[in-house]
Structure 1
């Protein structure tokens, strides 16, 4: 999915203190948070362009390529909420420093990985680092700025993330073509080094909380459940098929997720995912919408560059540049869509937007060799961009308006985690496409685009049926 869309999910997950922390260099604080979060934004998009080169160099099967992506998404999906709570518990500055350091070291390990298992393990560590630094960087902004300045700082943070996500695939493609795939991980090192230096200088120490306890048991069950289900979907749709071991792994994963719900229910408001939020029909519908639409997008941004390179004969740089119009158009149209949703309410935009995205996926059926960018790829991407722009900003506002004030931080953080979980599940299912070659690859890609269109239409239906009508500016409980 695009970094702009992700940043829209993340930008409201700010647990600010009652009074801003006095920082001697507030502009340096903003620069630090931008650099830190850019690590995750760039890495979330740049690796997709490098997948064909990595697969060729490491002789990786389709399931291996899937785990290069999901190794990063799994801890980020499962531990994102825990990362925000850990920042409250142990302090923003030490956790941000630890997250940046872990991400930088893991990036070096990715670049030096001698084989697939080491690369996937390093990607998992990258995801853990991202789960620490992303919510913490936003919390630091919430601590440092207040009022109008806080909104402006978060807006700059989100816009910079969009730019990083837009430039990332094209930059990654150039590096793959000229230096090699390992360079896409090495570009994180100067960013991490600069962020560490700035963080030590600019971010003041804040008192840690001795009251809030971490939901470690919930995080353990969520990680185990998502990991096992993702593994089962990957192998079940790939070389192993639904063997007894794969089905057993899926069953254990489902049990772990059910235990996660039991733990969260017992912890009540102290849970990393308070279940009371799902007492709102609108919030439940918005969560389902997020899972379905962002799942479709997560599959798209892995498969489209792969197909353009493998079947269309594009270079990695060309495939990265091919995606550029989408985040740029999102950046232009999302504010307009947010204003419109403020006038008419979120239900209509969140129904129409995903339906337009589905139409864009159907238009991708035109993509087949010889692939013309201007007639086959660009019209579909523009259609997806228009539909997504109509949904991203209204979704953020609707999530906050669907729960009470006590749950706004948890709701926005959960929405961001669910968006990444959608990408995790989608990536686990695309093995048959990544394993195909020649005309079979194009045919499998077309099947995947139709499935993505159906997922978006289901999301639109969830929005229409479950988001309650509410006057603009009111909460839809």
Structure 2
């Protein structure tokens, strides 16, 4: 079994299409969290804006708004128009909108550029998810799902470290990091081809898939809601942690960059072995372990009084989230009919960013009524409850599969 897993991983790495999709995956995490180390500096830079406190926080999640609204429509376009052209268009738009904060004059216009950036991310993520389903299946698909989350985390680690360094000079310089996406464009252009399956669906039009859709849509709806909630919890870190660290008297730009880098590194390391872990624990077991790790991480943040404890909490949260995230995509691609993979990928993408966008809207009132520690404690309790539910499902399934003697 171990040799089969290694053979599959090697085959995926040798596939140029997989490499291009992994590189594109790094852009999605760059979209939001890259500018987190620059948030306090941006708030000071635009201190004359009466809404600067809220707008600077929303700059992280602003792309999530347009993604949440448009990703399902983008998914339909991906099924009808094709995967390749929309993926390439998304990368080009990503570079233009992402770097606009270098020169735009005020927070409202920067906020609007972040909304446009969300359109680019919707194009990239939706096309990418559909391409993974078209190009790969079974063990290779699960392996690529884990590698994709790993690529996002290790890419995020690089981008956030770089953004933290340049934000110490000027908060605007963090937007220049988005120009690195230009390196992905020629690679994707050369190796990504339109899948035969996508072409046949586009030419023949929609099939009579109502009965097929009715069988999977309820399970898919459950995944969408759960993923949105999970991302709302996870995005407490990039949206609120910089201000928590600033409140505690740290050099927030440097410490935020370091903390988010640890989060990304731990998540990337866990995601590398996702396929093997999932094969042993099953999907419910992965959910139980992932939510338990995230709950533990937020609990550590409650008691953190030193930088080391803060980094440990971030590492646990990153590891737990990286274990959970590939499962949503893997289950969606297993559930969705081939001619609806673009739509399913779009809706799933929308759920990710809906959770991200509402995260500061939900967490900020909790902070105002209690404290940062109160927010972390409430989050830990909710995540622990989700872990217990997933563990119960795992034990029930194990009991049902136990042979009768």
Tell me, yes or no, whether TM beats 0.5: yes
CA distance in 2, matches of 1:314, 1:384: 22
CA distance in 1, matches of 2:61, 2:325: 23
Q: Is the 8 A contact 1:50 1:172 kept in 2?
A: yes
Partner residue in 1 for 2:5? none
Q: CA RMSD in A?
A: 3.9
Partner residue in 2 for 1:122? 113
If the length of structure 1 is used for normalisation, what is the TM-score? Answer: 0.67
Partner residue in 1 for 2:284? 347
Among 308, 311, 315, which residue is 1:378 paired with?
A: 311
Partner residue in 1 for 2:254? 317
SS in 2 for 1:312: coil
Among 216, 224, 228, which residue is 1:277 paired with?
A: 216
Deviations 1:105-124 (A, max 9, x none): 21232222211110111000
**Deviation for aligned residue 1:134:** 2.0
CA gap 1:154/1:276 in 2 versus in 1, 3 angstroms: closer
CA gap 1:188/1:284 in 2 versus in 1, 3 angstroms: closer
Partner residue in 1 for 2:73? 82
CA distance in 2, matches of 1:155, 1:354: 17
> 5+ residue gaps in structure 1?
1-24, 214-266
CA distance in 1, matches of 2:358, 2:178: 26
SS in 1 for 2:105: coil
SS in 1 for 2:235: helix
CA gap 1:153/1:341 in 2 versus in 1, 3 angstroms: closer
Deviations 1:269-324 (A, max 9, x none): 499xx6653534xx555444333332111112211123213433224133211232
CA gap 1:457/1:413 in 2 versus in 1, 3 angstroms: farther
CA distance in 2, matches of 1:450, 1:364: 8
Aligned length: 378
SS in 1 for 2:239: helix
> 5+ residue gaps in structure 2?
1-13
CA distance in 1, matches of 2:144, 2:274: 21
**Deviation for aligned residue 1:132:** 0.6
Partner residue in 1 for 2:38? 50
CA gap 1:155/1:385 in 2 versus in 1, 3 angstroms: closer
Deviations 1:440-462 (A, max 9, x none): 9xx62112212322331343355
CA distance in 1, matches of 2:281, 2:136: 31
Deviations 1:40-81 (A, max 9, x none): 222222122211111111225332123312321112223333
CA gap 1:311/1:452 in 2 versus in 1, 3 angstroms: same
Partner residue in 1 for 2:263? 326
**Deviation for aligned residue 1:185:** 1.6
Structure number with higher helix proportion: 2
For residues 413-424 of structure 1, what are the structure 2 equivalents within 5 Å? Answer: 414-424=347-357
For residues 41-440 of structure 1, what are the structure 2 equivalents within 5 Å? Answer: 41-59=29-47, 60-140=51-131, 157-178=148-169, 180-192=170-182, 194-204=183-193, 207=199, 209-212=202-205, 269=210, 277-280=216-219, 285-334=222-271, 336=273, 338-367=275-304, 371-374=305-308, 376-388=309-321, 391-393=324-326, 396-397=329-330, 403=335, 409=341, 414-432=347-365
